[in-house]
Structure formats: C-alpha cells, structure tokens
Structure 1
Amino acid sequence: MTLEQELQNLSGIQLDAGEVFSGKKSGRLMNGFSERVSCTPTVNSEYLFHDSMRDIAVWFMSPADPLYLFGPTGSGKTSLIKQLAAKLKYPVLEVTAHGRLDFPDLVGHHSVQKGNMEFQYGPLALAMKYGGLFLLNEIDLLDPATASGLNGILDGESLCIPENGGEMINAHPMFRLAATANTNGAADTTGLYQGTLRQNLAFMDRFWLCEVGYPEKGAEISLLGNIAGDLPESLRESMVEYANEVRQLFMGMGDKQHYGETIDVTFSTRTLIRWVDLTVKFQPLAKQGIQPVTYALDRALGFRAAPETKAMLHELAQRIFPQLADE
C-alpha cells in the first residue's frame, strides 16, 4: 500500500485534550486521527516535553496560523512537535530545507508508474489533500524566493498544481503546516549557523512564532533519574550542570567568553541521555583505572568536537567533576 493510499483511508476523531497531553480528562475536545500510518511518529514514553509544548498543543487544537519554531541546535524543536503529533496520531510529512530545494519538490512531479506517466504528489500536496502535518525543517536555509511560493498556502488559499492539469487542492480541515529553524528568520548575527538566510518579512508575518530553548535543569535531572537511577544523584546533577555549561559556551554566553566566541558542539537532551547510558555501560572500566564518565563523554560528544574544543570539554569536566581524574 502506498503512502497516499494509507492517508486516503484515515479518518479523524475527537480526543479529550487533557487526557491526550496530561492523562486527565479536561472536557476540551480536539481533532486527531483514528490510527497510525507509516509516517506517523512513534510515541516515546521517555520523551522530555518542554514548556513550549503548551503553545504547540493550543496550536494543534484549532485551525490557526502556520507555526514557526526556532531555537538553538539540540533544543529539540523537531522532536517536540513530532512527539505531540504522535499523541494525536497525526501523519507527519517531513522535508529538510536546503538552498537547492524548489517549490515543485514539495508539490509533486510526474514519474513512470507501470509503463504510464503519472503525477506523484509531494509531501505538501499530500498533507493538504488528506490531512496531516507538513513539517519543513531548517526553513531558514531555504532561498527566500522559494519560500515566497508558500505565501498563498500560509494564507489558507488552495494549492494549484499546473503540472497536474491545473488541479486545485483545498486544504483539508486537519492540515497543519509547521517550520523549524535555528534563527527567527532575521538571519544569524552570532556566527553559529552559517548558511542561514534572512527571510522575507511578509513571509515571516504569516507565522505564529514559538521559541524553544533547552529543557529546565530539574526536568533533565528527573529524566536521568528515571533512566539511570543506579548512578549517584550527585553525579546525575553534575552531568546536567556540565551539559548546561557546554550549551552556554555553544551560544557564546560563557562567563569568560568574548562576543562572537563559541564552540562547535552542544548538548541536546538526546546526547545527554547517550552520555549517561554509556557511563553506565562503561562502569567496568573503573577497575582498569579508566574513569567511565570522561570515557563516555568522548564517545557521546567529544569525538565530534574540534581538538581545541575537545580540550576545553576535558578541562570543564575536571572542574565540574573534581573527584574524577581525567583519563
């Protein structure tokens, strides 16, 4: 069965918003889907939701302006909206933008099917036709001229496909459009995100903006307690402190950094979890005189860093974990 056939067979249902997002009935109904399809995200029971989920949950509840999520690398913008979509069984048709992406790539193209030339709908057309979330990641890498092709869709107009005989697609009631980016559309002033482009003001004016930062310290400590309760609580707290220090350095907000100074890696919650998981797995190395924490740190993050950054990460580890000798 093709994805289009899966989407054709979907039906919408009404769900209690409180029950979906908090497990407690609220009496407030919202639309979702009755079953999952191949492009529906899988619910991650250990996922750590940001405070920003409130904005996105409200956005999902009723037809609204398109949503633009922005924030630093590793803050979980894409995973946040996909996990909320997973709870509603929303299909997610996802595209990552780049400088060569053209509007027809989103709409569709002709291809040979069983000896015949047929039009194959692209992700935007499928989401509009059958309902679902069209998710455009890294939208600030998109050429503003290409982005402007979305203006009519962002305004709620129908999609015209000249290549398919001028077909007009009216947006399905459960069609949603969201974009993610590292910048707020006004280009990068920090030097962190090379290649990002300043987006047209009229284009940006069509979006509901939501800023997504890194999770709160207490939430991540609680998460680590759930997945690695055997590690001492003080160690888990220090690991979260370390991750937040690295994030500050990445954003150029370290105590001793000058304007424009940054490092080339950062800690997502996913990387933090990987570090903790590897620390547990490498515990036997302690018998060989190797510290599992710093050994796991390199394999979770350090090996991706430039040599000078890696040295800085080790110095920071010695400061935050004074009881541990560097390997």
Structure 2
Amino acid sequence: MDAERVAHRNGAAVVTEHARPYYTSVGNEETVFKAAYRQGLSLLLKGPTGCGKTRFVEAMAHDLERKLITVACHDDLTTADLVGRFLLRGDETVWVDGPLTRAVREGAICYLDEVVEARQDTTVVLHPLADYRRQLPIERLGVTLDAAPGFGLVVSYNPGYQSVLKDLKDSTRQRMVAIEFGFPPPDVEEGIVRHEAGVDARVAADLVTFGQAIRRLETGGLREVASTRVLIAAGRLVAEGLPMRDAARAAIAGPLTDDASVGRGLAEMIDVYLANPAVGD
C-alpha cells in the first residue's frame, strides 16, 4: 500500500490519505463487506490462494477509512502473539499489545490471513470479539476490552488447500459472515494483470488464457492451480524484457510443481499457449 496518514476520530484509527489499492469487483462482495462492517459483524473470506482476498481487504479498509492491521497466520502463532505479552525493557517488565489488541483499542480492521494455519486454541480468543459482545478478554492483565468504534475482524482461508485437521471450528464459522472468492472472469483478470504487471493487453490476454488452461487440468502433481498472483509475476518479468515463455516457466510452472513429469507437461503447454513471438519472444 502507498504511504498513509492515520488520524483518530471518535476513538477509532482513521486512514486520512493514500490511494485506493487496485481492486475490481466481480460480484456483490463489496456491498456485503460494507454492510457487515456497519453492523459490527465479522467476516470470513474463502477462496483459493492468490485470487485477491488480501487486496480486497485493503481496498475495503481504504473505502471505510480505517487503519488495516494484517497478521499472516502460521502453525506457531500463539494467543500471546495476537493479544500481547510482558517483555523485559531494561530493568522493567512492560506489557506490549499484540496486533489484535492494537486493532481493538484503536478501532482498526484486523485481518487474519490464512487463519486456519493458527492453532485452534489460538483462534478461540476470537469468539467474544466475533459475536455480539465485541470484547477481548486479556487474562494476563485481568481486563476485558470493549472494541473501539470502527473495529472490524476479517479472517481468510483457502478451503481447497486445508486438510481435515486444519479447519475452522463450527463455533467460529457461525459467528461470521462468509464471502466466497474465486478467480475473476477472463476480461477482469486480463485488466488486473495488465494494470499490476504493466504489460499490454495482448500479453495479459495470453497469460490469462494459459492460466485458465492450467486450472482445467486434472492432475495430482500440482501444488496449486495458477493464481492471478503468479500471472502478474510472469507479466512483470515480461515487462523487464524476459521472453514470454521464460517468464512463464520461472513465475508460473516453477512454483506450481516439483513433479518432473508434471513440469514437463507444463513446459509443453507453455510452448503451445505462449508460442507467439509477438508477445514477448
């Protein structure tokens, strides 16, 4: 995101100046998000990796004039990482707020990306924040914080990637309004690749066509299908002067698989779909 200035209005952190992150709606997701936010409802964004969930949250925080605090969740994320902990500073022990607590105090939007990667005993701390109470108990301090005006909780995950052992509890899900994400329609995705990578319409169209072909594959050797993110990465390499096929091998085929036979298949597809020398070769 561009540099921003944050003021405080009625106790809430308010973004006062920066450009809106580039995001193109493909349905009613913006309407649903803003309605849920105004009602103090938490949001669950579901969709494949690299389809634009994070950019969407950035755009919504901009529209709502709220500071955005993002947490990339992982296996070792603890409750203390989210809420805060006591730390030694010189000869003193001081309390340091975690990102979730900062958002609660400041009235910011807290975005937990890939929330199911965090341990389930960690995500339970979200329950009183995600329902009508809008409160955060901090056991180590013996206090319960009421969320400041403007606070919003947003979590995301990729249902197709998670195992049965990594899923959201029903008790967590039913406290949230869900928005389903997929990859954009071709014309929208071409516009995104063109804008984000700085390439012309022909390059963007060829990359999107190739990406869609990969998404139609039925093979177990792919870690993920081609996301909009990897198409943008390939486009940026083309913008730097790399031939289209070299860019696709490095930014699309390489990250998607370690399987040699699948890799050969993707290389053959690159030669078929991206063979036109007018688009980068």
**TM-score class, shorter:** 0.7 to 0.9
How many residues get paired? Answer: 271
- TM-fit CA distance, 1:234: 4.7
Q: Which residue of 2 aligns with 1:35?
A: 16
Query: How does 1:73-88 map onto structure 2 within 5 Å?
Result: 73-88=49-64
Which residue type is aligned with residue 222 of structure 1? G
SS of the residue corresponding to residue 301 of structure 1 reads helix
TM-aligned CA distance change 1:199 to 1:45, over 3 Å: closer
264, 278, 287: which one pairs with 2:223? 264
Deviates more, 1:168-177 or 1:142-151: 142-151
Deviates more, 1:123-132 or 1:216-225: 216-225
Aligned mates of 2:21, 2:80 — CA distance in 1: 37
84, 91, 110: which one pairs with 2:67? 91
Q: Which residue of 1 aligns with 2:138?
A: 161
Q: Which residue of 1 aligns with 2:171?
A: 202
Residue segments in structure 1 that go unaligned for 5+ positions in a row: 1-5, 14-30, 37-41, 249-253, 284-291
240, 248, 252: which one pairs with 2:208? 240
Query: How does 1:156-195 map onto structure 2 within 5 Å?
Result: 156-157=132-133, 158-164=135-141, 166-183=142-159, 192-194=161-163
- TM-fit CA distance, 1:154: 1.4
Which residue type is aligned with residue 178 of structure 2? L
Which residue type is aligned with residue 309 of structure 1? V
Which residue type is aligned with residue 58 of structure 1? A
- TM-fit CA distance, 1:178: 0.6
- TM-fit CA distance, 1:321: 3.6
Task: Work out whether residues 112 and 156 of structure 2, in 8 Å CA contact, stay in contact via their aligned partners in 1.
Answer: yes
Deviates more, 1:213-222 or 1:195-204: 195-204
- TM-fit CA distance, 1:207: 0.9
TM-score, scaled relative to structure 1: 0.72
Structure of greater relative contact order (alpha carbons < 8 Å, 6+ residues apart): 2
SS of the residue corresponding to residue 148 of structure 1 reads helix
SS of the residue corresponding to residue 163 of structure 1 reads coil
Deviates more, 1:129-138 or 1:144-153: 144-153
Q: Which residue of 1 aligns with 2:189?
A: 220
Aligned mates of 2:183, 2:55 — CA distance in 1: 12
Task: Work out whether residues 79 and 125 of structure 2, in 8 Å CA contact, stay in contact via their aligned partners in 1.
Answer: yes
Task: Work out whether residues 137 and 144 of structure 2, in 8 Å CA contact, stay in contact via their aligned partners in 1.
Answer: yes
Aligned mates of 1:83, 1:179 — CA distance in 2: 15
- TM-fit CA distance, 1:140: 1.7
59, 67, 78: which one pairs with 2:36? 59
TM-aligned CA distance change 1:105 to 1:32, over 3 Å: closer
Task: Work out whether residues 140 and 196 of structure 1, in 8 Å CA contact, stay in contact via their aligned partners in 2.
Answer: no
Kindly name which structure, 1 or 2, has the bigger radius of gyration based on alpha carbons: 1
Q: Which residue of 2 aligns with 1:299?
A: 250
Q: Which residue of 1 aligns with 2:262?
A: 309
Task: Work out whether residues 84 and 98 of structure 2, in 8 Å CA contact, stay in contact via their aligned partners in 1.
Answer: yes
Which residue type is aligned with residue 200 of structure 1? K
Task: Work out whether residues 245 and 271 of structure 2, in 8 Å CA contact, stay in contact via their aligned partners in 1.
Answer: no
Which residue type is aligned with residue 264 of structure 2? A
TM-score, scaled relative to structure 2: 0.82
Aligned mates of 1:180, 1:78 — CA distance in 2: 8
Task: Work out whether residues 228 and 280 of structure 1, in 8 Å CA contact, stay in contact via their aligned partners in 2.
Answer: yes
Which residue type is aligned with residue 310 of structure 1? G
Query: How does 1:120-135 map onto structure 2 within 5 Å?
Result: 120-135=96-111
Aligned mates of 1:213, 1:55 — CA distance in 2: 16
Q: C-alpha root-mean-square deviation of aligned residues, in Å? A: 3.1
- TM-fit CA distance, 1:110: 0.9
Please identify runs of 4+ aligned residues in structure 1 that moved more than 6 A: 227-230
- TM-fit CA distance, 1:317: 1.9
User: What is the percentage of aligned positions where both structures have the same residue?
Assistant: 21
Which residue type is aligned with residue 152 of structure 2? R
Deviation by residue 1:23-60 (Cα, 9 ceiling, x = unmatched):
xxxxxxxx982536xxxxx6465444443333223333
Residue segments in structure 2 that go unaligned for 5+ positions in a row: none
7, 10, 18: which one pairs with 2:8? 10
TM-aligned CA distance change 1:227 to 1:126, over 3 Å: closer
